[in-house]
Structure 1
Amino acid sequence: MDAYLHRAEQLLQRIHTLAAISEDSNGVTRTVGTPAFLAGSALVKSWLEAAGLETRIDSIGNVRGRLVSTYPNAKTFVIASHIDTVINAGKFDGPLGVLLGLDLLEQLINQKVELPFHIELIAFSDEEGCRFHTTYLGSKVVGGFFEADLLQKRDAAGINLATVLATMGCDAQQLTHDAIPAADWLGYFEAHIEQGPVLYERNIPVALVTAIAGQQRIEMVFRGMAGHAGTVPMNMRQDALCCAAEAVLAIEQFGQEHRQTLVATVGKLDIRHAASNVIPGEVVCSLDVRSADEAHLTWASQALFENVQAIAQRRNSTLDWNLIQQTAPVTCDANLNSLLARAIADSGYKVIPLVSGAGHDAVPISKVAPATMMFVRCFKGISHNPLENVELPDLAAALRVAERFLTQLITHHS
């Protein structure tokens, strides 16, 4: 058997083993701070320790394993992704990048490669942001961008992040000490499933990520007037849900009209005090707008606000428009991308440049370090879904390319 296929089998087995740890049995759910998350973190930590890495769990819950260089003044190159998930997720989004990185470091250890820089493998604790509705908690800490007010963010049960960290055994007072200083960074590499259909349709195993789209997350609150479903005439209602429904369709239409440059999604809706015999008086919706063009993203957000505001006014309702989070588009580092493109080509694959519409931990890290990403083909581009799948030959191809890339980087800096 090809050596990479054999390693891919081991990688796939680890992915399946981690996926078996979940908050529910239907898909994979591991949100930060839950028993399933802690059990998953402990498993990953045990694998890093068994490989011979200097291993620890930091103050935000990141699992970190370090392979130390003996070179004086060596910088740090980070290989990372995340191990938290969305609700009812697949097995590969996040863990693929972490466990592929573990395989790479095991090979370096077995071959006794002399490193010109430190390599730190990190399993970030919270990239998806499902529990506290704010993304990149783990990578913000490592990059040195964690905002202290995030500790007061509350989950659906009203528990704040500071309390969750305390129950995890983490010390929030040490968060600033867990950052890698800006001067110590050499670069960042992340392997991730594509989460789109391009590689699947073209039957190509890997791609070069050139940029990551910027994003705005907005909370929309529609307020009308609650009333009795049987007594208020249809022409006298201030139905917040009907207002929200029209807004959702208008957002979809806007996204269709500008589909070449952006996507717009309403993914969450909450009818406050809902009952079958009550006219909805308050509805809360999410809005996610993304574009690789920062100017277009800013324009689109304003245009959507004006459109939705007009709908609310016409329906005699009010609108609260709250910006929850925004990230600027990111361009991957030209030098690292050049090395990665050469590794792809030298491995015998066509170099396909892609822009990521999804956010990744590379976004905050790119503020402090050169970053590059590799996409791996997944079944029909399906992600955030139990149907998420990567086939063994594509895992082997990803290992081949990533190892060649890392070898080139080591040679370059030796």
Structure 2
Amino acid sequence: MTTPLLAVDRDRIAAAARRVMARCEELARVTATPGAIERVYLSPEHARVNRLAAEWMREVGMTARQDAAGNQYGRIDGARGAETPALMLGSHLDTVPDAGRFDGIVGVLMALEVVRLLRSPDADARRVDLPFALEVMAFSDEEGTRFGKALLGSSAVAGTWDESWWTLTDADGTTLREAFLEFGLDPGRVGEAARRPDELVGYLEAHIEQGPELDERGESLAVVSSIASARRFQLVVEGEARHAGGTPYDRRRDALLGASEAALAVERICRAEHHIIGTVGQLETFPGAVNIVPGEVHMSLDLRGEFDDARDRVWDALARDLDASMGRRGLRWRAREIHRAPAVFCRPLLQDVVREGILATRAGDTREDTTAEPATLFSRAGHDAMAIGAVTGVGMLFLRNPDGISHHPDEAVSAGDVARGIRALAEAVLHLAHDPAHAQP
């Protein structure tokens, strides 16, 4: 059984969890859409939550600042001063439209509570001063809601910003460059947000599981082994628009029927391949009139998998299937890839310390089997850790999400699981501090 390194009473942990839950509610009120939650990159709502996060960072003793990409972060130097490499903790504060309260947000707030615990005067006397600095990062654009490109904030931190992104536009035609300027950022300085590998010990992110596996297992927490690879496409199916009443079936080249067959093929082919998920989330017909056979359809495709080769194999199979089905219907199709991300595997050492953190939460708890290994899951959803993996090793902790629903107002997490998660994350930080290999790449 793992020996806990942090001796903090349950009441203090419970109070930390209640604070996280209350602040999730407070942030939910910062929204562009009354009656729903929506916060997008470089918006007034983004600025408001950054100000709140900065206030909470200073409250736990951190220096706080907004970086050149609009991310908000706080820092406490380590034992060796300002030049000490940092262990970064965090997640994101932006949302999808009509979002839940916890996706990303709970990870930022839990990280702040970990800092509070590790700086508290009643923390375990056995712990030593941390050999690394602690940083809490509130990333600004994990979802990609406004400009259609996810992970913009964390990509800037990872040093992988692409100059072609400046011409991305939102629904109102505002370019990313224009939005930077309106927010008070200098596009020419975005490179200043980038971190070097020697500046970081690693990155740990707590996040709700955006699926039902922990709930079905009856477990609170899990170690994340990897984050799914992803490819996204915009597909166009071309047929011929003709009069709905005057065109017999044998003369129709109905693009919507072809697109519908393609969507069903996505489900059929992905279900036959282990750990591959395909989703058609957008479909638009042209000219879009009730009395016209659809002549063109635009549709999206999101492919995710545990391994890149399996994901690519599914795309190849789907392309062959579409060649055949569109040919039978006299249709044409084409695809434009708009996003590709390789699978990111969590660093073994960081998986180990997260596992030790979870085990430490079971000490003295007679309700759980203290000898059972914590669940290890791969994440089918994307996270900021995917981008940060380009500059340092990453690890993740999942929290149970009842019913697994996310990107929806019914998204949930319990205060009890948040309390366990805070304790596990704090223990993980201390286990990393006690491990002589913590600074190894």
Q: Confirm whether residue 67 of structure 1 aligns to residue 71 of structure 2.
A: no
**Equivalent residue number for residue 271 of structure 1:** 285
Give yes or no for the alignment of 1:287 onto 2:301. yes
**Equivalent AA in structure 1 for residue 14 of structure 2:** L
| Amino acid of the structure 2 residue aligned with 1:92 | F
* Residue of structure 1 in register with 2:327 after alignment: 313
Matched AA of 2:73: R
Q: How many residues in Structure 1 have an aligned counterpart in Structure 2?
A: 413
Does residue 325 (structure 1) correspond to residue 335 (structure 2)? The answer is: no
Paired AA for residue 119 in structure 1: L
Task: In structure 2, give the amino acid aligned to 1:42.
Answer: R
Whether the aligned pair in 2 keeps the contact of 1:59 and 1:165 (CA below 8 Å) is no
**Deviation (angstroms), 1:209:** 0.4
Alignment match, 1:5 = 14
Do the aligned partners of 1:8 and 1:396 also contact (CA within 8 Å) in 2? Answer: yes
SS of equivalent residue, structure 1 residue 2? helix
1:88: which partner in 2?
98
Q: Which moved more, 1:240-249 or 1:23-32?
A: 23-32
Structure 1 residue 346 displacement after superposition = 2.1
Instruction: Tell me how far 1:116 sits from its aligned partner.
Output: 1.9
Residue 42 to residue 229, structure 1, CA distance change in 2 (3 Å) = farther
Give the structure 2 partner of residue 298 of structure 1: 312
Q: CA deviation at 1:70?
A: 4.5
- Within the alignment, does 1:340 sit opposite 2:354 as a pair? yes
CA distance in 2 between partners of 1:93 and 1:255 (Å): 26
| 1:6-405 equivalences in 2 (<5 Å) | 6-71=15-80, 73-111=83-121, 114-258=129-273, 260-348=274-362, 350=372, 351-405=374-428
Moved over 6 A (4+): none
TM-score (norm 2): 0.89
Give the 3-state SS of the residue equivalent to 2:106 in structure 1.
Answer: helix
What is residue 410 of structure 1 aligned with on the other side? Answer: 433
Deviation at 1:140, TM superposition (A): 0.5
* Contact map agreement 2:270 2:314 (CA 8 A) in 1: no
Of all paired residues, the percent bearing the same amino acid is: 34
Please tell me the residue identity of whatever aligns with 1:23.
A
CA contact (8 A) 1:54 1:66 kept: yes
- 1:194-250, CA deviations, whole angstroms, 9 ceiling, x for partnerless residues? 111121122211000011111111110111122232333332122211111111111
Give the TM-score taking structure 1 as reference length.
0.95
- For 2:79 and 2:160, the matched residues in 1 are separated by 29
Contact 1:264 1:290 in 2 (8 A): yes
Q: Is the 8 A contact 2:356 2:431 kept in 1?
A: no
**Shift of residue 37 of structure 1?**
2.7
Supply the distance in 1 between the matched residues of 2:272 and 2:264 (Cα, whole angstroms). Answer: 12
Q: Distance in 1 between matches of 2:244 and 2:101?
A: 44
Note the residue ranges of structure 2 that are not aligned, 5 or more in a row: 1-9, 363-369
Following TM superposition, by how much is the alpha carbon of 1:365 offset from its aligned partner in structure 2, in angstroms?
A: 1.1
Indicate conservation of the 8 Å contact 2:241/2:287, yes or no: no
